[in-house]
Chain A
Amino acid sequence: MAPTDPILDARNIHAWYGSSHVLHGIDLKIARGETVGLLGRNGMGKSTLIRTLLGHVTQRDGQIHLFGHDVSKSKPHEVARRGVAYVPEGRGVFPNLTVRENLIMAARPSREASRGWSYERVLETFPRLTERLTNLGSQLSGGEQQMVSIGRALMTQPDLVILDEATEGLAPLIVNEIWNVIGDIRDSGIATLIVDRDFRRVLEHSDNALVLQKGLVELAGPASKVADDPALSGLLGV
């Protein structure tokens, strides 16, 4: 794989839930270190696309390559092993595990110690978690849970992080801190795929963006061009 090749190359992706055909041939490429924004109204296929890329949707078709490896038919744990971390909508923190256990359960050693996301670096980034290490996931506030979810994703030493509604339901101070952390993730050379309701912020922080409408890509390109496209407000219903 050449350094300039996309780390994720998904082509003509289709997905179904039962008899319902949800995705109708989507193409998506993400380069190393690139930030891509995924936009669209509710029910247009954003989460299904993410779940399909991660191997969670079994009724799927099309080609998905990660770092040059064909993962079109791979299971979720096989996709994760290829360096993809997922921060799910709803956070997915294990309620019966402590913060420490939630963080270290998925930890992997970094290939580059100086750039990796160690346990210490995660706690430095989210200092509040240091005080909550022995608390159970169920005892955390929504903001703390989100920090655990992001921290856990980073400790897998990913090359690509997928953030699905990472700021949903959180207060402005926490939302702002999460966007700061997303900036840190980007600065550390990790590629990101971001879904968030604050489309302006997504576009401001992304290199490229695509807008889904009824399971099809209706708008795609450099984020600054997508932001200025007169069709955007209609597609997002704003």
Chain B
Amino acid sequence: MRKAITIIKDEHRALAAVLRGLEYLIGQIRDGKQKPDFALFKSMLAYVKDFPDKLHHPKEDEYVYHTLRERDPSAAPMLDELEDEHRCGPEFIQRVATALQEYERDPSRFDAFAKAMAEYTQFQWEHMRKEEDVILPLAEKSLLPEDWTEIDSAFGSNADPLVGVGTQKEFRDLFRKVVNLMPAPMGLGPEAK
């Protein structure tokens, strides 16, 4: 498998793990098994908002999608759709963040927050599914060896090709913080009582 595709799928897994964690936390609160930890929610939302926007999507757009447009014009409608989704993602997650603020002020707003989160999560699953089931296999088929040499070289260095080591470390630290705050057994934090 190409290095760039490995990295994209790895980043999808990190994002998916945080989304699963959010679903779990909301389920625990709904079932009365856990009290809300707003600091944890905010860290997780910061991750799902900023990680795709600042680190993940730019790499997809600038390298893989851009080259796929040139090599296979029939992919354009799907790429347009995915790039639109990249653009509207931050606004979507901002609605979730607003719903979380309202829930923090007024516990009766839990259902509204849970609904906003569920809609966002569904949107992200669908988005990643389209990328992994359609676009990445198409890219593997359509891009030329020299395209992959260039893309893999850009992706393969330790420094992210677009944002640099600092931003990568920032997200790694944020992910680690989420893992350490999330109650066991989903994370390494103290079990909910």
Chain A contacts to B: CB under 8 angstroms: 127-128, 141-144, 147, 171-177, 179-180, 187, 201, 203-204, 224, 227-228
> Is the pair A143, B188 in contact by a Cβ cutoff of 8 Å?
yes
Is residue B113 within 8 Å, beta carbon to beta carbon, of the partner chain? no
Interface residues of B in 12-26 (CB under 8 A from A): 13-14, 16-18, 20-21
Contact of B182 among A147, A173, A224 (CB under 8 A): A173
Of all A-B residue pairs in the complex, the 5 with the closest CB atoms, nearest first, are: A141-B184, A172-B17, A128-B188, A171-B186, A204-B6
Is the Cβ of A204 less than 8 Å from the Cβ of B16?
no
**Is B9 an interface residue when CB atoms closer than 8 A count as contact?**
yes
Q: A142-B185, A147-B188, A204-B6 are in contact. Are A176 and B1 (CB under 8 A)?
A: no
A177-B176, A204-B10 known; A172+B184 contact, CB < 8 A: no
Residues of B within 8 A of A (CB): 1, 6, 9-10, 13-14, 16-18, 20-21, 158, 172, 175-176, 178-180, 182, 184-189, 191
- Output the least CB separation between A93 and chain B (Å): 14
Question: Assuming A128-B180, A224-B1, is B189 touching A176 (CB within 8 A)?
Answer: no
Q: Which residue of B lies closest to A203 (CB)?
A: B1
Q: Chain A residues near B179: list those with CB within 8 A.
A: 128, 173-174, 176-177
B-side contacts of A179, CB under 8 Å = 10
Residue of A nearest to B21 (CB): A173
Q: Find A128's partner among B9, B16, B20, B189 (CB 8 Å cutoff).
A: B189
Q: Which A residues lie within 8 Å of B185 (CB)?
A: 141-143, 171
Nearest residue in B to A130 (C-beta to C-beta)? B180
Residues of A within 8 A of B178 (CB): 173
- Which residues of chain B have C-beta atoms less than 8 A from A144's C-beta? 184, 188
Taking CB atoms, residues of chain B closer than 8 Å to A141 are 184-185, 188, 191
Query: Is the CB–CB distance between B9 and A204 below 8 Å?
Result: yes
- Looking at the assembled complex, report how far the CB atom of B58 sits from the nearest CB atom of chain A, in whole angstroms: 21
Give the docked Cα–Cα distance between A143 and B179 (Å). Answer: 10
Q: A143-B185, A173-B186 are in contact. List 17 more A-B contacts (CB 8 A).
A: A128-B179, A128-B180, A143-B184, A143-B188, A144-B188, A171-B21, A171-B187, A172-B20, A173-B17, A173-B18, A173-B21, A173-B187, A175-B17, A176-B13, A176-B175, A201-B13, A204-B6
Q: List, in ascending order, chain B residues with CB within 8 A of A172's CB.
A: 13, 16-17, 20-21
> A224: which B residues are within 8 A, CB to CB?
1
- Taking CB as reference atom, which chain A residue is nearest B177? A127
Query: How far, in whole Å, are A128 and B180 apart by their CA atoms in the complex?
Result: 6
Most buried by A among B17, B20, B172, B191: B17
Contact at B17–A176, with CB atoms within 8 Å? yes
Residue of A143, A180, A203, A204 near B187 (CB, 8 A) is A143
Most buried by A among B1, B14, B21, B180: B180
Does A177 lie within 8 Å of B175, measured CB to CB?
yes
